[in-house]
Amino acid sequence: MKNTILIILLIIPLALFGQKSPTWVNENQRNQNYPSDIYFTGFVSRFIEKSITEETQQAKTEAQADLSKKIRLQVSTKSQTSIEAINSNGKYNENESFLSQATTESNAEIVGMKTEVYVDQKANLIYAFAYVNKYELIGYYKSNLSVNVNQIESFVKTAQDLENNREKAKARQQLENAKPLFSKVRFAQDILTAIDANVSSNDLQQSKTESLYNQFTQMQAKLAQAVYVYVESNEDLFGKKVDIVASKVKAEFAVSGCSFTDNIEESDFKFRINVTTRQGNEEASGWADAEISLYDNHKQKEVYGDAFTEKVLAKPIEKAGRSAMEKIALKISEKLKNWIQ
């Protein structure tokens, strides 16, 4: 068994060294068999200074990088045409983002790329040749473009549905999911513009992309605005009209970006608070009783209602009542977190 393995290991380098020189080693034949109008190619030749395994990997890497560089240069050269076409209304402009994405994408392994290696033992040279069919690339990026556009469309539609249901936090997350896909769409559009002379605006899905991007940015701006709440408060502290609970609830929600309005017509929610205080049987025991109601103006219905009671021992009795109201305010804030967003 050991002898068999040894023979195989000896045969592999002998086969690599003894194989006939492939046609792609010769520049003229390489250009003839892999014309630039059909293929992107990368080629490298280097002296053998390390082990065959190391030299083979290095040569492959350099040939692939040479091919990627040609694609990147061609895309960058023609990118302005695509930028002007997509940016026809001045709203879809991601030049710097595109250039960064183009560099990243074209430096990655190209889909469908093949790499071959040849060792010339007599000349002590190793050759590597990488190539990819442009039409295979075109087919891949058209498919890639459609997949990403459809995903963006799905994320935006879901975000719209969530917004209509007043689930703004979830809607924002859907837009975050869609955001990185625009760079991928943009790169696919630009590479198709660069390598396909017959590509059309329909192939690039420019109108659909522009429409989705505008919907995306408009929704982002809209969702960035706080939820607006109209508050009605009726609070009684042993005969005094106060605003203890409402003020504390507003302060808690202001921290998370919630805003409050005096105009009920522009509000997302209407929040009613009724609080009364009373003295208990024990000396210096103050009680606060509260009833709340949260009404969703978009759904046109009450979405949450509850009642709370708190007791505090303190002197004077007014201090006990105030402390009880403050404790209720914290409870209310905690309960409403899942409703106001």
281 with 307, same domain: the answer is yes
Pair (232, 331) in one structural domain = yes
Residue 89 is predicted with a pLDDT of: 44
Contacts of 147 (CB under 8 A, 6+ apart): none
Residue 49 lies in a domain: no
pLDDT at 193: 87
| Better pLDDT: 16 or 139 | 139
Tell which of 224, 252, 275 closes a domain. 224
Q: Indicate if 185 and 211 belong to the same structural domain.
A: yes
Question: What confidence category does residue 79 fall into, taking pLDDT thresholds of 50, 70 and 90?
Answer: low
Segment 58-78, tens digit of pLDDT: 999 999 999 988 887 777 766
Residue 256 maps to a domain: yes
- Whether 71 is in a domain gets the answer no
Q: How confident is the model at residue 87 (pLDDT cuts 50, 70, 90)?
A: very low
**Residue ranges with strand state E in 178-252:** 228-237, 240-242
Instruction: Confirm whether 102 is domain-assigned.
Output: no
Residues 6 or more apart from 115 whose CB is under 8 A from it? 60, 63, 64, 128, 129, 130
Over 50: is that where the pLDDT of 173 sits? yes
19 within a domain of the structure (yes/no): no
The verdict on residue 249 lying in a domain is yes
- Name the residue among 187, 269, 196 with its Cα closest to residue 228: 269
Task: Report pLDDT digits (tens) over 129-151.
Answer: 999 999 999 999 999 999 999 99
Domain match, 234 and 278 both: yes
| Mean pLDDT estimate for the chain | 83
143 & 204 share domain = yes
For the chain, the 3-state helix, strand and coil shares in percent, each to the nearest 5, are 55, 20, 20
CA–CA distances in Å: residue 238 to residues 148, 192, 267, 325: 63, 75, 31, 12
Q: Which of 224, 240, 273 is the last residue of a domain?
A: 224
pLDDT greater than 80 at residue 161: yes
pTM of the model: 0.57
Range 155-184 average pLDDT = 87
Rounded average pLDDT over 151-155: 97
Both 185 and 282 in a single domain?
no
Give the CATH number, domain containing residue 164. 1.20.58
Q: Are residues 184 and 271 in the same domain?
A: no
Q: Is residue 111 part of a domain?
A: no
265-291 pLDDT tens trace:
778 889 999 999 998 877 778 889 999
Backbone angles phi, psi at 309, to 5 degrees: -135, 135
Same domain for 251 and 328?
yes
pLDDT value at 57 more than 80: yes
**pLDDT at 4 (0 to 100):** 55
**pLDDT tens by residue, 25-45:** 999 999 999 999 899 999 999
Average pLDDT, integer, range 118-126: 94
Tell me the CATH number at 331: 3.40.50.10610
Lowest-pLDDT choice from 85-99, 103-117, 213-227: 85-99
Q: What is the pLDDT of residue 109?
A: 54
104 falls within a domain = no
| Structural domain boundaries, residue 280 | 228-336
Nearest one of 138, 84, 149 to 111, comparing CA atoms: 138
pLDDT digits (tens, 9 = 90+) for 201-248: 999 999 999 999 999 999 988 887 767 889 999 999 999 999 999 999
Do 212 and 247 have their domain in common?
A: no
pLDDT the model gives residue 165? 78
If asked whether residues 182 and 257 sit together in one domain, one would say: no
Q: Are residues 238 and 327 in the same domain?
A: yes
Q: How large a percentage of the chain has pLDDT more than 90? A: 50
* Calpha distance 109→131 (Å, rounded): 11
Q: Which of 224, 247, 274 is the endpoint of a domain?
A: 224
Map residue 307 onto helix, strand or coil.
Answer: strand
pLDDT of residue 97: 44
pLDDT tens-digit map of 304-334: 999 999 999 888 889 999 999 999 999 998 8
- Within this chain, do residues 249 and 332 fall inside the same structural domain, yes or no? yes
| Residue 246 CB partners (closer than 8 Å, separation 6+) | 231, 233, 235, 273
State how many domains the chain has.
2
